[in-house]
Amino acid sequence: MDLKGAGIGEGISEVIVTTRSASGKPNAAPIGVITHINNENGKAQHFVKLYRKSQTLANVLATTTLAANVTNDAVVFVKAAFENLSEDYFTVFVDMPVLTKANAWIVFTSVAVEESRDYFRFQLTPQAVEIRRKEVKAINRGLNAVIEAAILATRYYLTEDEQEKEEMKRLMERYADIVKKCGGRREKEAMSILHEKFFKGVDF
């Protein structure tokens, strides 16, 4: 199944992964879908790394299923990273919770292919795809900076290395400058939420 039309290409595609618990409760989190192309036959293989103690991992272990939601909405990325999205954000596609306003949905089944102290690595097989909107957009450095800042924020309090934290602060200041210069209203709103929710009290 070719996922290029749904926005999933070679490399790492940053999406919002939605899952459900065994009891049916939805969850959403930013995750990178890793895509490798076989040089011999041109076929794509898809993977994700899910870290221990995450709700996403618990849900995938329970149901073996996840949905990738392709979106360019910076605010949704930040909110999904640091809070539980309300039910208003979700609809249902092939019995899976998905984000109502996403541009595309891909439902995958998963098989664990690697387990380490920190994470599980799953190989994904696409089962169903729906492309809801095809957007033609130029690259916006502000959006990219928000995504990088959100990833950085999730790692900030996981490290005890003060030198590494100082470097993260410098990077965050740089990302904030890029958003201020290049971002639109949604990117600036997302960065504001990121500062308020996760970096409150951190001096930049």
> Is residue 112 within 8 Å of 50, Cβ to Cβ?
no
Q: Which residues of the chain have pLDDT under 50?
A: 204
- Mark whether 44 and 118 lie in a shared domain: yes
Question: Is 136 inside any structural domain?
Answer: no
- Mark whether 97 and 42 lie in a shared domain: yes
Question: Is 202 inside any structural domain?
Answer: no
Question: Is 13 inside any structural domain?
Answer: yes
- Mark whether 186 and 106 lie in a shared domain: no
- Mark whether 161 and 60 lie in a shared domain: no
Q: What is the CATH number of the domain that holds 179?
A: 1.20.58.290
- Mark whether 108 and 174 lie in a shared domain: no
Angle at 165 (CA atoms; ends 161, 167), nearest 5 degrees:
120
What pLDDT shows up at residue 157? Answer: 73
Distance CA 123, CA 14 (A): 16
- Mark whether 105 and 30 lie in a shared domain: yes
- Mark whether 108 and 36 lie in a shared domain: yes
- Mark whether 47 and 105 lie in a shared domain: yes
Range of the domain at 161: 141-197
- Mark whether 42 and 126 lie in a shared domain: yes
Question: Is 8 inside any structural domain?
Answer: yes
- Mark whether 189 and 114 lie in a shared domain: no
What pLDDT shows up at residue 204? Answer: 44
| pTM reported for the whole predicted model | 0.89
Boundary residue ending a domain (90, 110, 131): 131
Question: Is 204 inside any structural domain?
Answer: no
Q: What is the CATH number of the domain that holds 53?
A: 2.30.110.10
Q: How many domains does the chain have?
A: 2
Question: Is 190 inside any structural domain?
Answer: yes
